[in-house]
Amino acid sequence: MPSEKLVPYKIELNEKYNPEQKYDLSNLSSHDPTIGHDHIIDVVEDFLSNLEGENLRDASAEKTFIVEDFERNENVIDGYISTGNYGYESLIRNVETGEPTYEKDEMEAEQLPFYFLFYLPQTVKGKPYRGGTRLVLILEQINRMGIKGQVKSRFEQFLTTSSGETTVKFRPIYTKRIYEKLLEADFLNRIDIDLNKIPGDDERRSALIHGVDSGETESQTMVLHPDDDFADNLREVVSRLKEEEREFAEVVSKEVEEVRAKVVNSGGRQETIPLMKDKVAMRRDLSGDGLQYSNGLLTTGSLRREANRLFTDLIHSEIVESPEFGDEIQPLEFDDEL
């Protein structure tokens, strides 16, 4: 199975010459009537409708872009956009026999469907969350490939064509819940320690992390597979730092550049936590029990459930409604005659 992830972003609109003046995305006409819609989800729906089914190409990047399908349910729009690379020839082989099965030419692209979700969060009382200033966008990645760049550029172009007074900001969503992630994890699978130099023979290699025996290292990145005692000791260190509101960088030696904890959380999902950053871009690695697949990729039902869970992690508030989805959406339509 390919590696699939969900990555969240926030989209904000503001005045071109006053970036601190964020728009209420549920009342756009009060900020810039030239946008043509009052609600940002109406803008998104118009944007997607104009592109749906169109075979678009980015000639400079040699990528395709096709809005395959989408559905709207009030403040929520989700669907699939497919993309692929072209501009080169390649040979397709049967992985079991090694026999060639197809020759792709320069003007053909292998289309992969990528899931997306737009949601303007609202409270349980039906009011825009935080004044309606943040549109949440969740995009799928498959084997480190994605559609963020093309969605961003095309959406910005769509908005600025009608309005010269508005700017669009696409930003990843960060979390400061790094310590909680490690403390709540079911299992600590591995620790990676990046070094700017290897400690000399006269230095205690076991003191790279104070209070934790990290053993020896013979390379610039030390990989540890901790036992239960190591995991408990590391959790004690992190718990103390959390209570004292201190940074993890304060308890490592000067040779350490980064410490990454690889954990398994509830449901068997694996996640990498960079402990020396005070914040980290959110993402959800899609693996573990309970996920369903079709044609080698996650089903729409699984992607919607995981997007819902990711949104809950992002907002972390009982007063905000989770996204409610519309009708079924189809990633790709296969032609039996091909």
Task: Work out the number of other CB atoms within 10 angstroms of the CB of residue 79.
Answer: 23
Say what the pLDDT of residue 217 is: 47
User: Worst-scoring range by mean pLDDT, 9-23, 25-39, 223-237, 318-332?
Assistant: 223-237
Q: Report whether pLDDT(187) > 70.
A: yes
Q: What share of the chain is helix, strand, coil (3-state, %, to 5)?
A: 25, 35, 40
Band of pLDDT at residue 201, cut at 50, 70 and 90: very low
Q: Using an 8 Å Cβ cutoff, are 57 and 63 in contact?
A: yes
Say what the pLDDT of residue 18 is: 85
Mean pLDDT of the chain: 86
- 221-230, 287-296, 312-321 — which one is most confidently predicted on average? 287-296
Q: Where are the beta strands (DSSP E) in 166-269?
A: 166-172, 174-175, 187-195, 221-224, 256-264
Mind giving me the DSSP string for 85-119?
A: B-SS-EEEE-TTT--EEEEE-TT----EEEEEEEE
Say what the pLDDT of residue 326 is: 93
User: Worst-scoring range by mean pLDDT, 12-16, 127-131, 155-159, 179-183?
Assistant: 179-183
Structure confidence by residue, pLDDT tens digits, 153-179: 999 999 888 778 899 999 888 766 777
pLDDT above 70 coverage of the chain, percent: 87
Band of pLDDT at residue 208, cut at 50, 70 and 90: low
Q: Report whether pLDDT(115) > 90.
A: yes
Structure confidence by residue, pLDDT tens digits, 26-42: 999 999 999 999 999 99
Q: Report whether pLDDT(136) > 90.
A: yes
Q: Report whether pLDDT(202) > 50.
A: no
Say what the pLDDT of residue 204 is: 47
Structure confidence by residue, pLDDT tens digits, 306-333: 999 999 888 867 889 999 999 999 998 7
Residue type, 247: E
Structure confidence by residue, pLDDT tens digits, 51-63: 999 999 988 889 9
Q: Report whether pLDDT(142) > 60.
A: yes
User: What value does the CA radius of gyration of the chain take, rounded to a whole number of Å?
Assistant: 23
Please tell me the pTM assigned to this model: 0.74
Q: What is the mean pLDDT of residues 141-146?
A: 93
- Which residue(s) pair with 210 in the sheet? none
Q: What is the mean pLDDT of residues 68-93?
A: 96
